[in-house]
A and B are shown apart, each in its own frame.
Chain A
Amino acid sequence: MDGSSTQWIPRPPSTRVDAFRGARRILRGVAGWLWLASAALAQAAKIGDLTEVRWTEQALRFASLSDPAVRHACLGTVLLGVSCGLLGGFLVVRRMALLGDALSHAVLPGVALGFLWNLEKDPLAIFVGALVAGFAGSAVVSLITRTTRLKEDTALGMVLATFFGAGLCLMSMFQRLPTGNKSGIESFLFGQAAALGPGDLQLMGVVTALVVGMLAVGYKEFLLVSFDPGFARVLALPTRWLERVLLLLLAFAVVAALQAVGVVLVSAMLIIPAATASLLTDRFHRMLLWSAAIGAVSGLSGAFLSFLGTRLPTGPFMVLSAGLFFGAALVFSPRHGVWPRWNRQRSQRLRVAQENTLKAIYQVLESGGFPGETVPVGALAARRRIDREAALGEIGALVRGEFATLSGDTVALTPSGWQRACAIVRNHRLWELYLTQDACIAPDHVHDDAEKIEHVLGEATVRELERRLPRTDVDPHGRPIPSVPAPAPGGRAPGDRPQGGVIGYGGRP
Chain B
Amino acid sequence: MSGPEAGSTSGGPVAPPLEIHDLTVAYRDKPVLWGVDLEAPAGKLIGIVGPNGAGKSTLIKACMGLLPCASGWVKAFGHPVSESLGRIGYVPQRESVDWDFPVSVMDVVLMGRYGRVGLFRRPSAEDRRIARDCLDQVQMLPFADRQISNLSGGQQQRVFLARALAQESDLYFMDEPFAGVDAATEASIIALLQGLRDRGKTLFVVHHDLPTARDYFDWLLLLNLRVVAFGPTAEVFTPDLLQKTYGGRLTLLSEVAEAVRAKAR
Contact = CB atoms under 8 A, between A and B. Distances in A.
B182 interface: no
A72 B263 CA distance: 62
Given A15-B149, A235-B85, A281 B92 contact: no
A220 B121 CA distance: 8
Given A227-B103, A234-B64, A284-B103, A220 B88 contact: no
B64 A93 contact: no
Interface string A87-127: 00000010100000000000000000000000000000000
Given A220-B123, A237-B119, A282-B147, A228 B97 contact: yes
A230 B102 contact: no
Contacts of B88: 234
Nearest to B114: A235
Given A221-B119, A235-B85, A236-B86, A282 B102 contact: yes
A138 interface: no
Indicate the member of A93, A223, A227, A231 with the most B CB atoms within 10 Å.
Answer: A231
A232 B64 CA distance: 11
A236 B85 contact: yes
A265 to B, nearest CB: 25
B114 A284 contact: no
A236 B111 contact: no
Contact of B111 (A15, A18, A227): A227
Given A15-B149, A284-B103, A231 B122 contact: no
A220 B122 contact: yes
Contacts of A281: 102
Interface in A210-251: 217-218, 220-221, 223-224, 226-228, 230-238
A283 B104 contact: yes
Given A217-B120, A220-B122, A231 B103 contact: no
B66 A234 contact: yes
Contacts of B90: 230-231, 234
A333 interface: no
B111 A228 contact: yes
B114 A237 contact: yes
B81 to A, nearest CB: 10
Nearest to A218: B120
A306 interface: no
Contact of B115 (A18, A227, A228, A236): A236
Contacts of A236: 82, 85-86, 115
Contacts of A93: 98, 101-102
A278 B88 CA distance: 34
Nearest to B92: A230
B78 interface: no
Given A235-B114, A283-B104, A227 B97 contact: yes
Interface residues of B, number: 33
B100 interface: yes
Contacts of B104: 282-283
Contacts of B100: 15, 18
B66 to A, nearest CB: 6
Given A224-B114, A282-B147, A231 B92 contact: yes
A274 to B, nearest CB: 11
A227 to B, nearest CB: 5
B132 to A, nearest CB: 18
B114 A287 contact: no
Interface string B106-149: 01100100110101101100000000000000000000000101
A240 to B, nearest CB: 13
Indicate the member of B61, B86, B103, B117 with the most A CB atoms within 10 Å.
Answer: B103
Nearest to A238: B119
Interface in B56-88: 61, 64-66, 82, 85-86, 88
A410 to B, nearest CB: 47
Given A230-B92, A234-B85, A282-B147, A223 B115 contact: no
A210 to B, nearest CB: 15
A153 B248 CA distance: 41
Contacts of A233: 64-66
A227 B107 CA distance: 11
B96 interface: yes
Nearest to B123: A220
A318 to B, nearest CB: 25
Contacts of B108: 227
B101 A227 contact: yes
Given A15-B149, A221-B120, A228 B64 contact: no
27 contacts: A15-B149, A93-B101, A93-B102, A220-B120, A223-B103, A223-B111, A224-B114, A226-B101, A227-B101, A228-B92, A228-B111, A231-B90, A231-B92, A234-B64, A234-B66, A234-B85, A234-B89, A235-B115, A236-B82, A236-B85, A237-B114, A237-B119, A282-B102, A282-B147, A283-B104, A283-B107, A283-B147
Given A228-B96, A228-B111, A284-B102, 14 more contacts: A220-B117, A224-B111, A228-B92, A230-B90, A230-B92, A231-B90, A231-B163, A233-B66, A234-B90, A235-B85, A238-B119, A282-B104, A283-B147, A284-B107
